Structure 1
Amino acid sequence: MSNQNGGALMNAVNEEVSSKLELIRNSVSKIGAMGVRLKGTDWFAWATAGGSNTVLLTAETGIAEVLVTAEDAWVLTDEIEAQRLKDEELPANFKLHIHPWADVAARESFVREVTAGGKILSDRTTNQEGSLPLSLFKHKRVMMSSELERYRRVGRLASEAMTEVLSKAKPTWTEYQLAGMGAKALWARGLHPALTLVAGERRLPLYRHATPSKEPIGQEAMMVFCARGYGLYANLTRFVSFGGMKPEHAKLHAYLREIEAEALNLCQPGTSLNTIYDAFKQAYQKYAYPNGIHEHHQGGTTGYLAREIVATPATSDTLAENMAVAWNPSLPGAKIEDTFVILENGELENMTFDPKWPNVEVEGRLRPLPLEVG
């Protein structure tokens, strides 16, 4: 990257963070709070324009947090982590407060000092700290243009990793091997393999969330990615079949492409998530699988969490422009999933589409087919 391009990118990050700090301050000043603490991996990435406080991949919180007051924005961490965060993760908008790793109380003392002992809001509430306002959750779920550019990169890399691995897969591989190759391909592209599910021929029709096992995958397999980059999740599911897919299995995949289309057609600003849930319910009934709606969640909005909100009969939250969605309708042995963003004109952009993967047009959208090998 040239210095000129690098400078432009840094300026865009700084501008994004400045806008978010203003959003935070405006949201909390109305309720008299003196500070906001953001500890979750999702909120940290959002506030820092893609920075990471993650060391342990399975943890919901990380090795640093963001503290925003009316005057300043801090990243609080210990002496183990500070230099790397400063060098590799943090934009210039933040000051760094460093405490001894063995003295967590020093962090709490600093927070009380800079907030004058006043009211504090947090994404991880305690008896002393209140919840974030709903307006901030909305801001986190609706992407700025700079966030969408990062999201597109994550989606492209995740889908390329999926294509690479399943194109090389062998029926003799174990589910562990296939999942390991998937995780390796994601790491090689700088993405966290937050979720790598694999089910082979025997286990595929039995389990919707099939964590990998030592069994050989056999004649067909499913792999699922929740790949995280810049804190953003690219969610996608693909299938591979060796020696040709059975007609009855191909029919299930065809049904799911039509069922999914019912939901995708409704992904417009202002549509409620329970409206889409109801559309899924009716679509399953249409294809003579009335229990399909009960056998797996259907997905929902995505972004800085694999699912920000899962659609249920009770979720009245509405979709908006620049919000991402990932639906995953399924039937025994079949599933479909990609990550889309709702654009300004109401169109959907598939951020996990790889043109090298076999596809078919459904309702004007290119949707993945099972990859047939041999």
Structure 2
Amino acid sequence: MGAFVFSRRSSFAWLTDGGESSVDEASVIGAADLILTPQRAFVVAPNNEMDRLLEEVLGDQGYEPLTYSWREDRIPVIEKLLQGRAAGSDTLLPGCSELYGDVKTLRYSLLPGEQARLRFLGKETARIVGEVCRQIRPGDSEIKIAAAIKGSLADEGIAAPVILVAADGRIARYRHPVPTNKEVERLVMIVVCARRWGLTVALTRMVHFGPVPQDLRERFNLVNNISAQLINATTPGRPVKEIFSLAVNAYTGAGYPGEWEKHHQGGPIGYDTRDYLASLDCPTLVHEGQAFAWNPSLPGVKAEDTILALATGPEIITTSEAWPTRVLTQGKTNIIIHEMLILQGHKS
């Protein structure tokens, strides 16, 4: 192959050590394309973006600028540069083979610098979400809680492509609860995917006001046991479908056979919110240094943290010293579980 065109924001961040090509947060395609040939590297961007990208994002990384007017279409510029040579792309482009699936596999194993950035992001996200959770009060709406999380993350330069909030009965009713005006009475669940430097972490936290009913506590313990089994099983070289099969059996063992079919169980995470969703027929293996976020759920409860799959064992990176935790032992591995945060008082 004579060249490759990278247009996605995720690819741009991966190739530029965490650079951001976005102007429109709603688009997966950035404001610039990176084109690599065996001999040269180009950045293709309109004239109203190029100076900023060169000065504030790319610096001395060695990309040759190829600028066009903001009034023009970038496709003819790319086609002229490729000059008919065989080319691949991470999106659909005329004359290119779409190979985004192959691109993703190249970044499954995170390099030490990427792992360090992901650890920092995980710790900061867990800290910030925890701080906001402690400020929740009965009567707060789901939308208000989501806005507080989004704003607090933004203050630290962290974007939030996913924020889900559910109060009380909506938790059991919907597995993807987009925030509404419903007010919290006793129970709230917060789900966050947070992104910085192109990398993403995910976590779920639950808050309860006053004593926790026994049936809710039992379901929460069960879902955390399933989560611990999944985390412990995520070791380099292990087939992902084998881990998923373990999840299916864990649901049955918990007394909820078939519950796994009501929502996906997560999978590898990194430069996308999920690189793919794990399944019983998933053909891939866990890679050394790959990030995963499993998210098992039962009626009204969910568990989710981001981990790194390392040769030394799974490392949970979305922990917070200020959040109540306990340790579940799986074989020879101690898995940190985030408990439900219990606050005093509830809406009468």
Q: Would you say same fold, with TM above 0.5?
A: yes
Q: What is the TM-score when the length of structure 2 is the normalising length?
A: 0.94
- RMSD value, Cα: 1.4
Alignment of 1:1-374 (within 5 A): 33-93=1-61, 94-104=63-73, 107-132=74-99, 136-345=103-312, 347-363=313-329, 364-374=334-344
| Shift in Å, 1:111 | 2.6
Q: Give aligned pairs, total.
A: 339
Q: Is the 2:90–2:100 Cα contact (8 Å) retained in structure 1?
A: no
**Do the aligned residues in 1 keep the contact of 2:224 with 2:337 (CA within 8 Å)?**
yes
Asked whether the equivalents of residues 69 and 115 of structure 1 are also in contact (C-alpha less than 8 Å), the reply is no
Once residues 130 and 229 of structure 1 are traced to their aligned partners in structure 2, the CA distance between those partners, rounded to angstroms, is: 29
Aligned AA for 1:361? V
Partner secondary structure for residue 151 of structure 1: helix
Percent same amino acid at aligned positions?
A: 28
Q: 1:84 to 1:127 in 2, by over 3 A?
A: closer
Q: Distance in 2 between matches of 1:319 and 1:353?
A: 22
* Contact 1:112/1:118 (8 A) holds in 2: no
Give the whole-Å Cα distance in 2 for the aligned partners of 1:133 and 1:197.
Answer: 28
What's the CA shift string for 1:176-226, capped at 9, x where partnerless? 000000101110111111100000012111000000000102111000110
Q: Quick check: 89-98 or 334-343, which moved more?
A: 89-98
Deviation, 1:351, is 1.2
Conservation of the 8 A alpha-carbon contact between 2:264 and 2:277: yes
- Counterparts in 2 of 1:300 and 1:133: CA distance versus 1, 3 Å: closer
SS of residue matched to 1:114: helix
State the match for 1:18 in structure 2: none
Structure 1 stretches of at least 4 aligned residues deviating more than 4 Å after TM superposition: none
User: For the residues of structure 2 that align with 1:37 and 1:146, how far apart are their CA atoms?
Assistant: 24
How far residue 138 of structure 1 moved from its aligned partner, in angstroms, is 2.2
Q: Structure 1 length normalisation: TM-score?
A: 0.88
Find the residue that maps to 2:242 and give its secondary structure.
helix
Long gaps (5+) in structure 1: 1-32
* Residue type of the alignment partner of 1:239: M
Measure how far apart 1:134 and its partner are: 6.1
* Shift in Å, 1:116: 2.7
**Once the two structures are superposed, what CA deviation does each residue of 1:163-183 show, in whole Å capped at 9, x if it has no partner?**
110011111100000000010
In the alignment, the residues of structure 2 paired with residue 112 and residue 195 of structure 1 have an alpha-carbon distance, to the nearest angstrom, of: 35
In structure 2, what is the Cα distance between the partners aligned to 1:134 and 1:194? 21
**Displacement after TM superposition at 1:230 (Å):** 0.3
TM-fit CA distance, 1:114: 3.1
Counterpart AA for 2:282? T
SS of equivalent residue, structure 1 residue 89? helix
